[in-house]
Structure formats: C-alpha cells, structure tokens
C-alpha cells in the first residue's frame, strides 16, 4: 500500500513543474502582433558617370533650364516689331527669300530674318540709286543699314552715276535711266513701282528685257514693297475677345473720304447705289459732306461716330491694297468695306476677319442688308475686331531686305531675268469690272 502511494507522489512531483510552467505561460502578457517594417522610398539612382563632361548636367543647370522654360512661355518678339529683341543668329542657305522659294508668299519676314554666317568676312555690296538719294529719302554710304541695325548691313548706297560700271545692283524708280556704260555680267537691275499699272508710265521698248528683279506691292515681286505689312505676335493666336464695345455710342452708319470721282472701277457709282439702302456720308469732292484732308478730326470721326468705312481703291488691280484700307480703315475703330484687289488677296494681306469685301455679296442692296444686321447686333459687329491686339503693322525695312537679297543672290549664284517686265506688270493685272465678272485669272 505504501509502495503504491509512493509511486503516485513521485508522478505528482513530476507533473507539478510542468503544470506550473504552463500556468506561468498562460499568465504572461501576449506579445504584440508582428508586422513588417514600413518600406522606405528608394534613394534616387546615382547619375552614371559620363565619358564627356559637356553631356553632364548639374543641379544648378537644371534649375536654370526650368527658369528659362518659364521665361520662354512668353514668345520673344523679332527685332522688327515694337519692343522686339530677337535677332537672327543662324545662317540658312535655303531661306525662302525669292519668289520661286515660296510662290504666293510675300517672304518679307524671311528676308528680315536672313543673316550671313558669323565666321565669314563678306564684301560690301554697292547699290546705286538711279533716281538719286533724295527720291528715296536716304543718306549715302552705309548709314541706312547701320542706323536700322539690319541683320545684313554689308551694303552701301550711292547716287553717283560714275559708279554704274562697278555697282552690284542698280535700283530704278518708275522708269529706266540708261547710264551708257558697259553692264557687268552679275549686276542686278531692279525696277520699283509704287502705284498700280493704270498710274505708272510705260517703259521704252528697249527697256523691257533689261531688268532682273521687281520691287512692287505685288506678292510675286522679287522684293515685295507693300503699303503696310501686318504680322501676328504669335501665329497660333489670331484673335482675342475685344476689350470694349466698338459699337458703343456710334450713331452713324457709313463714311467715305474721296476726291477722285472718276475711278476706273466705278466705285462712286457703287457707293451711290449703296446709299439707297443705308445711310452713306461721302466727304470730299464727290459728296455733300466736307472735312479738310489735313484736319485730324476727320479721321477721329471714324473712331467716335461711324460704324463702317468705304476703303475703296481707285482701281481693281492684283494685290493693290493701299493706305485707304490699312490707315483709314484698320488703324481706326471702324469696320472697313473694301473694293480693289481680289478677296483672296485681301485675306493674304489683312488680319483675319477684319473687313468686309463687296464681292462677298450679290450687290449693294444685299451688302446694305448685312450692314443693317451688324448695326443691330453688337456681338456680331464686335466679332470683326477680335484681331486687335494680336499683332502689329511693321516697318518692312526695304533697304535692309535689298541688301540681304543682293548678298543671298550672290551666294546662290541665282540668275533671274524678265524678258518682258511690262507684260509681267500689266497683262491681266487689272479689271474695270469686279473680279467675278472678269474671266481673267491671276497668272
């Protein structure tokens, strides 16, 4: 009996430590649940060491580039615009300077931004003005090119007939003046016309095939010399909402300042027909209203009193758009109604949606109906002024461009020649009716 009790006690003694250990484990506090450590962002990769130092970019340079990008969001204006400082620095041997380079384009901006290689010494080109310096209002020598900071200024002007044999180019205004000296083979003869074919004298038969270049308002001239040139500050933004109501406080309809009552395109007859359907105030010798041409208040009336202005040219000729449109019309707060060049030619020269062409309508009555609609709808009327503030009329720097092209011509070894410059100037260039009635298309 005592032996059995001893065996039981030994078993109990063995179990007690195990029971106490289990009890202790149960009574201990539970450890927090395990969670993996938070993942830290990876450090940026170290830049690979490049073979050439000029390809490495420092932190300062990155910051500078960022600043430059912010600055360049505002387009820099070219040198020929108001406040413009962007000068051409790269010589483009294939620049679109001549008519064959860009048919239908006036190429004025391309000529103003052409420059010669900076690492070359170039010869000074001599340009002889056959009609004298006073005719052009310029000084002799290099003054014109230096004063205007022409991108290509290696030229000199002279009016000395003794230079005719060694001049690089001779510029003739309106007519040909023979110098009776042997002409060098590479000398360029340029014929300049300001007025339209109806108002320019014919050349002698012996002068028809002696010219290399033309300089006129026509877009197919070698050097286009327009009455005005419109350029947008940014070609992607051609309109913006008007800052004011251009119709406000205007009580009068149509105005016209005119002195020539016998124009070939019968503009006076058209205006009188128009006046049967809408009020037209004609100032000058051809109408009943008077305001001296020298009085600045005359044109101020357009800003304050009139909604429309008849910017009618005296001739319907190719590309013939004068100050009647650009100055009397667009440079005042009035909507121009135009007659002269073709509708497509106005579109090429004028700001977008800035005028009304008479040939957009069947006749004066239909035009008058549209003008009355514009008179009653300020929103529609103001849509014709969204171009304002998007660009400017620039100085086309005629002699800067002549200099640039004489140099470019020599570099390209370009040969140009008019076998009949009068045929080019006059044939199919004008019409006595409107362009729709004329069967003659531009060449």
Q: Which of 195, 239, 305, 392 is catalytic?
A: 195
Query: What residues pair up with 339 in beta bridges, in sequence order?
Result: 312
Contact call for residues 395 and 80 (beta carbons, < 8 A) = yes
Among this protein's residues, is 195 annotated catalytic? yes
CB 283 within 8 A of CB 258: yes
Cα 277 to its chain centre, rounded Å, is 37
Helix (H) or strand (E) segment spanning residue 280: strand 280-283
Give which of 219, 237, 231 is closest to 351, Cα–Cα.
231
Burial of 289 (0-12, 13-18, 19+ CB in 10 A): middle
Q: How far apart are CA 166 and CA 172, in angstroms?
A: 16
**Is the Cα dihedral 112, 118, 122, 124 positive or negative?**
positive
Q: Is the dihedral of CA 340, 346, 351, 353 positive or negative?
A: positive
SS3 of 6, please? Answer: helix
Residue 15 backbone dihedrals phi, psi, to 5 degrees? -80, -25
Q: At what angle do helices 364-376 and 267-274 cross, to 10 degrees?
A: 50
Helix/strand/coil for 210: coil
| 431 touches 438 (CB < 8 A) | yes
Q: Which residues are catalytic?
A: 195
């Amino acid at each position: 009996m005592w032996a059995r009790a001893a065996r039981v006690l030994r078993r109990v003694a063995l179990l007690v430590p195990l029971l106490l250990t289990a009890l202790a484990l149960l009574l201990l506090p539970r450890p927090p649940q395990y969670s993996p450590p938070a993942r830290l962002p990876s450090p940026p990769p170290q830049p690979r060491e490049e073979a050439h130092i000029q390809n490495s970019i420092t932190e300062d340079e990155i910051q500078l580039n960022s600043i430059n990008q912010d600055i360049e969001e505002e387009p820099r204006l070219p040198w020929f615009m108001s406040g413009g400082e962007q000068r051409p620095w790269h010589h483009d041997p294939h620049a679109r300077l001549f008519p064959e380079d860009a048919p239908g384009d006036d190429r004025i901006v391309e000529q103003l931004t052409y420059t010669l290689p900076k690492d070359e010494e170039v010869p000074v080109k001599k340009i002889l003005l056959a009609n004298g310096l006073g005719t052009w209002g310029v000084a002799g020598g290099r003054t014109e090119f230096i004063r205007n900071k022409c991108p290509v200024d290696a030229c000199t002007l002279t009016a000395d007939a003794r230079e005719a044999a060694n001049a690089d180019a001779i510029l003739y205004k309106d007519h040909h003046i023979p110098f009776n000296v042997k002409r060098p083979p590479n000398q360029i003869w340029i014929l300049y016309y300001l007025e339209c074919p109806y108002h320019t004298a014919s050349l002698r038969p012996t002068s028809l095939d002696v010219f290399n270049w033309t300089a006129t308002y026509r877009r197919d001239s070698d050097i286009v010399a327009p009455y005005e040139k419109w350029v947008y500050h940014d070609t992607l933004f051609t309109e913006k909402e008007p800052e004011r109501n251009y119709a406000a406080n205007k009580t009068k309809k149509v105005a016209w300042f005119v002195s020539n009552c016998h124009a070939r395109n019968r503009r006076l007859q058209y205006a009188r027909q128009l006046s049967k359907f809408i009020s037209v105030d004609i100032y000058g010798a051809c109408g009943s209203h008077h305001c001296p041409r020298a009085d600045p208040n005359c044109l101020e009336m357009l800003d304050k009193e009139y909604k429309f202005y008849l910017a009618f040219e005296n001739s319907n000729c190719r590309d013939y758009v004068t100050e009647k449109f650009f100055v009397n019309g667009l440079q005042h707060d009035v909507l121009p109604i135009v007659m002269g060049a073709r509708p497509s030619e106005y579109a090429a020269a004028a700001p977008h949606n800035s005028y009304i062409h008479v040939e957009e309508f069947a006749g004066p009555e239909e035009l008058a109906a549209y003008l009355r609609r514009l008179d009653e709808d300020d929103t529609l009327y103001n849509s014709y002024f969204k171009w304002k503030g998007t660009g400017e009329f620039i100085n086309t720097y005629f002699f800067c461009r002549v200099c640039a092209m004489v140099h470019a011509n020599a570099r390209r070894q370009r040969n140009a020649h008019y076998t009949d410059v009068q045929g080019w100037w006059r044939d199919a260039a004008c019409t006595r009716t409107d362009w729709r009635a004329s069967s003659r298309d531009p060449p």
